[in-house]
Amino acid sequence: KLIFTMSLLLGTTLTISSNHWITAWAGLEINTLAILPLISKSHHPRAIEAATKYFLTQAAASALVLFSSMTNAWHTGQWDITQLTHPTSCLILTSAIAIKLGLVPFHFWFPEVMQGSPLTTGLLLSTIMKLPPISLLFMTSPSLNQTLLTCMAIISTALGGWMGLNQTQIRKILAFSSISHLGWMAIIIPYSPKLALLNFYLYALMTTAVFLTLNSIKTLKLSTLMTTWTKTPALSAMLLLTLLSLAGLPPLTGFLPKWLIIQELTKQDMILAATVISLLSLL
């Protein structure tokens, strides 16, 4: 476990601090290989299936990241991450990172993998594993395809909300919540990358609180969550507040990034997109 945790931290740090596409790609690969044993450690067929799904999608996405950076280097002679200028490369990179993050239409693997992994690994998957791709988006944000990102963001928020409605498994609900939060980050990253990072940090904080609470009360289904009130009243009350904050209810922390994002979108004359994404997050 120590080796895998160290590798996770190493891979994430490598990608975030790299300036060259190859080192960024290497960091992503180290990350993927380090999380696989953590997903499949229960030796349950479901966990093995989740690990396989995760490995295949992440390998495909990494190959696409490498392909887009090579195309860009072929046309411009630049391996610098911030110098991604070739339009085709930008398009492929946006798609690759969407696969890595689990944005719609590449979201199918994420709820399945979350459902097959333990709660602590699910926490890693929805926070730490999202940081390297988001930091790559942050570094390439001036040259990203805005139309593609906006479309993916709005559909992600919609599907994350709708598909989370008819679930009874808590990990799947949290996976869909993650997909709709990623929609909020994706819509703002071309205009104000720092806001997307703020959104990600606050999301990671609230999700960590939810996952650790669920882990301590050993809850995997909604039916078991209904009986926790009698066992741990204080923890259940805190969980209620955290979940409302995650949903973005105005007086709570989770509303702050949404408020700022809506403000920034209206400054960019994207009033329709802001209205749609706000209405969809009510789900």
Q: 196 with 125, same domain?
A: no
Q: In sequence order, what are the residues at sequence separation of 6 or more whose Cβ sits closer than 8 angstroms to the Cβ of residue 89?
A: 68, 69, 71, 72, 75
Q: 30 with 102, same domain?
A: yes
Dihedral angle over CA of 103, 106, 107, 108, nearest 10: 180
H/E segment holding residue 98? helix 87-101
Q: Among 142, 160, 181, where does a domain finish? A: 142
Q: 8 with 39, same domain?
A: yes
First to last CA, the chain: 38
Q: Among 142, 171, 189, where does a domain finish? A: 142
Q: 159 with 276, same domain?
A: yes
Nearest to 184 by CA among 154, 161, 160: 154
Q: 136 with 6, same domain?
A: yes
Q: In sequence order, what are the residues at sequence separation of 6 or more whose Cβ sits closer than 8 angstroms to the Cβ of residue 230?
A: none
Q: Among 80, 108, 142, where does a domain finish? A: 142
Considering its fold, how many domains does the chain have in total? 2
Over its length of 283 residues, how does the chain's per-residue pLDDT go in tens digits? 899 999 999 999 999 999 999 999 999 999 999 999 999 998 899 999 999 999 999 999 999 999 999 999 999 999 999 999 999 999 999 999 999 999 999 999 999 999 999 999 999 999 999 999 999 999 999 999 899 999 999 999 999 999 999 999 999 999 999 999 999 999 999 999 999 999 999 999 999 999 999 999 999 999 998 888 888 999 999 999 999 999 999 999 999 999 999 999 999 999 999 999 999 988 8
Q: 124 with 162, same domain?
A: no
Neighbours of 73 (CB within 10 A): 18
Nearest to 270 by CA among 216, 167, 180, 192: 192
pTM of the predicted model as reported, rounded to 2 decimal places = 0.94
- Check: CB of residue 99 under 8 Å from CB of residue 28: no
Which range of residues forms the domain containing residue 98? 1-142
